[in-house]
Structure 1
Amino acid sequence: MDPAKQREIASKGGKAAHQKGTAHEWTSEEAREAGRKGGMASHRRKQGGDQGSSESEGAR
């Protein structure tokens, strides 16, 4: 699927969920944790491998 079309569909779904009141809204703690995980994953890719997989296994 064309990325622009997919983004448009996702945007409509998100807007509808917010109007309905069922959309997820991030707390500052959730956003901080998601950003930390994303940064760690990005760093690992740049370093050339998955060097800390045991950390993510215990997160759930």
Structure 2
Amino acid sequence: MDDDEQRAQASKGGRAAHQSGNAHEFDSNEAREAGSKGNQSRATSGGRSDNDDDNRRGSDGNNGYTGTSNRGGSRDGNR
């Protein structure tokens, strides 16, 4: 299932849940409380995990450096 199919299926489920009265709808106070709990959890866990930097860089851990440079050349690398 590609992303568009998955999104369409999830949308149908969300609409059906609301129509049947089973979907939870946050009021502003509940949303505020939930956000506060999330912030507390993040603060007590030390903020970011050790893997956050690796995840942002990509799995190869090379900080996005591929060993090539595009300085002074054309976009496709042909000069």
Q: TM-score when scaled to structure 1?
A: 0.51
Q: Distance in 2 between matches of 1:23 and 1:3?
A: 23
Alignment match, 1:16: 16
String of CA shifts for 1:19-45, please: whole Å, max 9, x gaps: 111002232122x1576468x8xx432
How much has 1:4 moved relative to structure 2? 0.6
Residue ranges of structure 1 left out of the alignment (5+ in a row):
50-60
**3-state SS of 2:8 partner:** helix
Q: CA distance change for structure 1 residues 22 and 34 in 2, over 3 Å: closer, same or farther?
A: farther
Q: Are residues 1:48 and 2:67 paired?
A: no
Give the TM-score normalised by the residue count of structure 2: 0.41
Larger radius of gyration: 2
| Structure with bigger RCO (C-alpha 8 Å, 6+ apart) | 1
How much is the aligned-residue C-alpha RMSD, in angstroms? 3.1
* Secondary structure in 2 matching 1:48: helix
Partner of 1:6: 6
